[in-house]
Amino acid sequence: MKNPYVKHLLSLKVDEHCLSSNSHLKHLRLLKSLDLQGITFPDSLLNEIGMLVHLKYLIIQTKAKALTPSFSNLCSLEILAVNNLERSCMVLSPCFWSLVKLRDVRIKFCALFDLYINEPTVLDKDSRLENLTTLYELCLFSSEDTEDIFKRFPNLQILSVSIIRECSGEKIFFPRLDVLNELEELRLSSSWDSFDEYTYGFPLNC
């Protein structure tokens, strides 16, 4: 970058037609707020975002199937919004659990784990996001053993979640929602008609 003052930017919002194919973000090391809404950029730029360790606020649009591992460096990130252009769910693990300051996550169709890997993801017992209060458009698959997953988000206040049933003959794992003592708003959808037998796990305060 030719402008020597650019590297001192703290906030950047880029319009749809103002980011060239050879743009770089790695020089903006002090950036705290980055809004790239409406812009689809290459994976290389996504990796550069992971170098912006002071970021607190991030809005992006991507076709990536998972959060890039470099995002685990964003230890100051508090707000994350992603417009997922793929129809499949964006996989959040494993770097998601490193973002301990996250407060607000809004991702169009996201999943905590990759359902199609041969070995299931095993989380450390201490993996928790205690600052997370808002989580939008999370997808949980009924074949995943995620009954206790929300214990890892003890202070959730707003939750939007879809329970997706993959085939009729399988055992269904329904997440326990009654562990969310701070929950104020719940948006729940499922891909089958009735889940009356699972309502024992609903929060009393919602």
Domain ranges of the chain: 1-127, 133-206
How high is the pLDDT of residue 177?
85
Query: Under a CB-based contact definition with an 8 Å cutoff, are residues 134 and 161 in contact?
Result: no
Q: Spell out the CATH class of 1-127.
A: alpha beta
Q: pLDDT tens-digit profile of 67-108?
A: 999 999 999 999 999 999 887 889 998 899 999 999 999 998
Q: pLDDT tens-digit profile of 28-49?
A: 889 999 999 888 777 788 889 9
The whole-angstrom separation of Cα 28 and Cα 19 is 15
Among the ranges given (20-29, 52-61, 105-114), the one the predictor scored with the smallest mean pLDDT: 20-29
pTM for the structure as a whole: 0.86
The whole-angstrom separation of Cα 153 and Cα 109 is 18
